[in-house]
Each structure stands twice: as C-alpha cells, then as structure tokens.
C-alpha cells in the first residue's frame, strides 16, 4: 500500500486530470484536499472529453472511492449539476463511491456576488479570479463565520449563521459593490433541500481515510491549481485562496504527515498561467500564440485564454523545494513538436546580477529577465511513443536537461491528450 500526493508545479493547468486518471488505475481511493469549483480537470477518454470541477477525477472509474476533503470549499449547486451530468453520461452509477467531509465549508451565492463585485471594483488592479466565490468563502472560514456542510442538518444553527452573514454582507453587496441583495429565507430553503439530497455522502473523512490506510488501501491525494498559486508560496497576491502545495493534503483531509509515502509533481513542458500576475517567460509573440493554439490553452472552468511561454526551471525548482517532490510527471510534450528551437529558462537576471531562486517580492518577479538555454526541437510525431526509446533524440535531450536541472526523476511522460498517449516509466504506488 502507498499514499501518494499529486500536485501541480506551475500556475495550474499542467494536465493533472489526465495523470490522476491514469494513476487512479493503481489506487483504491482518490481524495481532493483543497480548492473548489475554480479548478477544472480535463480528461479525454477515447473521443470523449470530460471536465470535472469539484468531484475527484477518480469518479470516472468503477469501484474507486472518491472523497471531497475538508480543505476544499464546496459549491453545492454546481456539485449537484456535476453529479447529474456524470450520471447522464453513464458515470457515477454507485452513490456509495463519493464521500463529502462534514467539515467542508460551503460556497454560498453571496460569496460569488462578493467575488465578482470586488473584481469589478478593482478595475485594472484585479486579481483575475474565476468569479466562483472561492476567496470570499475561504475568508469566511478564516474569519470563523463560514457555513459548513454539517450545519445544514441543524436548522437552528444554519439559520442563525445565514442571517448573521447576510446582515453583514447584504449592505456591502448593495451599497459598495452594486450587487443584488440575497434573501435569507430563499437561501435557507434552497440549501436545506440541497443538503437533504447530498446527505447520503456526508462522512467524517478523517476517520474514513485513516481506516483505509489501516486496511492497506492505496490512496491518491489530488491537488488543484499549482504551486505558484499557493497563498503562501505563490506569486502573492496573484494567487488562489488556499494552500496548493503537498503539505496541504494532510490538513485538508485530517491525516498526519507520517502517512505520506511520495509526492508527484506535474510539470508542463512549457509554462502557462490564467489571470493577472507576473510571468517571466511569457511570450507575447508567435511562439506564445502557437503554444496557445497547439496546446488548446483555454481555461477548463472559465474558457479564458491562457498566457503562454517557455518552461521556467527557476520557478520549478521553487516548486520542487516547497513540495518535496519525490518524482515528476511531464505533460503536453507533444505541443512542442514542430519547433525548430526550444528555450529553457535556467536562471533570472535582476538588477545586473544572475539569480537562481524565485523571488518573494512580486515586483522583482516582474522585473526578472529570463536567462535561456536554447536546444534543438523536433518535427517527428511523438504521440504514438509508448517507450522512452521511441522518442526522437532531441526530445530525449530536452527531458534529460529538465531532469538534471530539477534534480528529480520523471516517471511519466504525456505525449498526447488521450489516456493512452502516455509513457509510463514507473508506478508511484510501487516505488
């Protein structure tokens, strides 16, 4: 048995959904431990594309258990829609597949209104959120005014918390942000009904997961977003509102760090980010446009085009350190096919000096000039490769340089969007 964490190493959108889908074959339980409906994990099975936002990607496999951890913030309205869509497409036929933490905090309609209103008011200083209410929901959690899933099943507790929240938020929504007022009774009735429908999934997931560990189950912890969007270790304030790094898995589902056996980091073969914030290797040219088009770089949640650039090993080494990666998975390598030359950022130049560590100062990150190494590209189609030796020499060289710079082994290489377009070098559950 093994307990493995998988997290993104860049600004999210590294292709985690596909890798989780592959590794789910070897696991018994898949756990989402942070984030919310602002995440979008895209999985291609045959000719079918499925996008999941809150339910762990393991739900597409029969006989696999999926857990929504307490570290998430959960939108019950969109969760219900996601469940219905999965069932319509022939998935999630067994309701016992899904457990939802009784302690998970809820995203309420007023959180979405606050999110949108604040972004509109910020103008050109906006963060670039998805507008899904994630930040305001986490704010309420930290302020100790949040509503948890378990609260829905005590009408007195739920009603009191709801009324206290609306007494504070409605005046701000209307008078400061120009948003609509929320009706307490309407929300009480709607969420009481949503809670009733989802109650069969309610569970103490800390007890569940620790029991699964004692039973010798393989457990896979699935992160959302990426290390550079971490609220502590990312490009603050242009980050998400939760901790996206591997250490958050323990707090986000109620297990101790001694239970973890390995951490897999997902590395996209180039760099992308959605929303605002500094991006040293971004390409405002034909290279950036080509990466965006060939990589189909549009947000799974919002549809927003992603900003694109060369791979950045300064930022990646920062992710390696703060996550403690024991292995890496390289994704979207096929997108680089057809490029005559490929650049790898090895260091930054800042104020006339070369630096190797990712700065905490957001202005310094914006002022950093990438120092590149240029390597040969390749024209051969690599999507049919299933073994490392089947890749062109230039492709293998690119992988070798990245692995040497990062100091961590690649155990999976994705050469296309489909599940089978993969070179699986090692199984993390058997390391």
What mean pLDDT is predicted for residues 288-302? 85
Q: Helix axis angle, 184-198 relative to 155-171, nearest 10°?
A: 140
pLDDT value for 193: 97
User: Is the pLDDT assigned to residue 133 strictly greater than 70?
Assistant: yes
Sign of dihedral through CA atoms 425, 357, 242, 283?
A: negative
Bigger pLDDT: 303 vs 329: 329
Residue 407 included in any domain: yes
User: Do 117 and 262 belong to one domain?
Assistant: no
What is the tally of structural domains in the chain? 2
What mean pLDDT is predicted for residues 6-15? 94
What mean pLDDT is predicted for residues 121-127? 74
pLDDT category at 63 given cuts 50, 70, 90 is confident
User: Is the pLDDT assigned to residue 251 strictly greater than 70?
Assistant: yes
Picking from 167, 201, 235, the residue at the C-terminal end of a domain is 201
Bigger pLDDT: 413 vs 48: 413
Give the percent of the chain with pLDDT over 70: 97
What is the reported pTM?
A: 0.93
Q: What is the CATH number of the domain that holds 132?
A: 1.10.300.10
User: Do 280 and 166 belong to one domain?
Assistant: no
pLDDT value for 390: 97
Phi then psi dihedrals of residue 373, to 5 deg: -110, 130
User: Is the pLDDT assigned to residue 234 strictly greater than 90?
Assistant: yes
Residue 180 included in any domain: yes
By CB neighbour count within 10 A (0-12 exposed, 13-18 middle, 19+ buried), where does 203 fall?
Answer: middle
3-state SS class at 163:
helix
Around Cβ 352, how many Cβ atoms within 10 Å? 5
Which pLDDT tens digit goes with each residue over 390-418? 999 999 999 999 999 999 999 999 999 88
Q: How far, in Å, CA of 58 to CA of 31, rounded? A: 9
Bigger pLDDT: 85 vs 318: 318
Q: Which of 13, 28, 115, 140 is catalytic?
A: 13
Q: How far, in Å, CA of 331 to CA of 261, rounded? A: 23
Beta bridge pairs of residue 104 = none
Helix (H) or strand (E) holding 49: strand 48-52
Helix (H) or strand (E) holding 131: none
Query: Are the CB atoms for 146 and 111 separated by under 8 Å?
Result: no
Q: Read off the DSSP letter of residue 145.
A: -
pLDDT value for 204: 98
Structure tokens at 196: 């009733």
User: Do 360 and 296 belong to one domain?
Assistant: yes
Give the percent of the chain with pLDDT over 90: 81
User: Do 162 and 124 belong to one domain?
Assistant: yes
pLDDT value for 275: 83
Tell me whether the omega of the peptide bond preceding residue 328 falls within 30 degrees of 0, making it cis: no
User: Is the pLDDT assigned to residue 260 strictly greater than 70?
Assistant: yes
Q: What is the CATH number of the domain that holds 218?
A: 3.90.170.10
User: Do 149 and 8 belong to one domain?
Assistant: no
Active site residue 357: no
User: Do 79 and 225 belong to one domain?
Assistant: yes
Structure tokens at 160: 């009191």
User: Do 219 and 192 belong to one domain?
Assistant: no
Active site residue 13: yes
Q: Which of 28, 41, 151, 201 is catalytic?
A: 41
User: Do 208 and 235 belong to one domain?
Assistant: yes
Q: How far, in Å, CA of 428 to CA of 412, rounded? A: 10
User: Is the pLDDT assigned to residue 21 strictly greater than 80?
Assistant: yes
pLDDT value for 47: 66
Range of the domain at 134: 105-201
pLDDT value for 46: 63
Residue 276 included in any domain: yes
What mean pLDDT is predicted for residues 36-48? 71
Residue 100 included in any domain: no
User: Do 35 and 175 belong to one domain?
Assistant: no
Q: How far, in Å, CA of 206 to CA of 70, rounded? A: 9
Picking from 175, 201, 227, the residue at the C-terminal end of a domain is 201
**Which stretches of 231-312 are DSSP H helices?**
248-251, 286-294
């Amino acid at each position: 048995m093994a307990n493995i964490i998988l997290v993104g190493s860049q600004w999210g959108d590294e292709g985690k959904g596909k890798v989780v889908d592959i590794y789910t074959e070897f696991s018994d339980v898949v756990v989402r431990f942070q984030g919310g409906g602002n995440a979008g994990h895209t999985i291609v099975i045959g000719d079918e594309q499925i996008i999941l936002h809150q339910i762990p990607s393991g739900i597409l496999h029969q006989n696999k258990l999926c857990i929504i951890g307490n570290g998430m913030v959960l939108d019950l309205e969109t969760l219900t829609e996601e469940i219905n869509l999965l069932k319509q497409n022939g998935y999630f036929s067994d309701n016992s597949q899904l457990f939802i933490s009784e302690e998970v905090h809820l995203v309420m309609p007023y959180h979405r209104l606050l999110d949108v209103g604040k972004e509109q008011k910020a103008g050109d200083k906006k963060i670039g959120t998805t507008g899904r209410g994630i930040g305001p929901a986490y704010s309420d959690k930290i302020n100790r005014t949040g509503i948890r899933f378990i609260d829905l099943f005590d009408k007195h507790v739920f009603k009191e918390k709801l009324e206290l929240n609306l007494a504070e938020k409605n005046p701000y929504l209307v008078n400061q942000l120009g948003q609509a007022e929320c009706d307490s009774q309407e929300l009480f009735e709607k969420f009481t009904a949503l809670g009733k429908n989802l109650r069969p999934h309610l569970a103490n997931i800390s007890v569940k997961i620790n029991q699964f560990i004692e039973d010798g189950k393989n457990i896979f912890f699935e992160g959302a977003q990426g290390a550079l969007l971490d609220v502590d270790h990312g490009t603050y304030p242009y980050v998400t509102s939760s901790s996206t790094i591997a250490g958050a898995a323990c707090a986000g589902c109620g297990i101790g760090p001694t239970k973890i056996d390995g951490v897999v980091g997902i590395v996209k073969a180039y760099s992308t980010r959605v929303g605002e914030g500094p991006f040293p290797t971004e390409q405002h040219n034909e290279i950036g446009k080509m990466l965006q088009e060939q990589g189909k770089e549009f947000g799974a949640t919002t549809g927003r085009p992603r900003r694109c650039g060369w791979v950045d090993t300064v930022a990646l080494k920062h992710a390696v350190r703060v996550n403690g990666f024991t292995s890496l998975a390289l994704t979207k390598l096929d997108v680089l096919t057809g490029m005559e030359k490929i650049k790898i950022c090895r260091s930054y130049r800042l104020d006339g000096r070369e630096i190797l560590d990712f700065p905490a100062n957001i202005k310094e990150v914006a002022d950093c000039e990438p120092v590149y190494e240029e390597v040969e590209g390749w024209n051969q189609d690599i999507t049919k490769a299933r073994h490392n030796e089947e890749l062109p020499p230039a492709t293998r060289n690119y992988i070798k340089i990245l692995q040497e710079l990062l100091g961590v082994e690649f155990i999976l290489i994705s050469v296309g969007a489909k599940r089978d377009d993969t070179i699986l070098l090692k199984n993390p559950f058997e390391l």
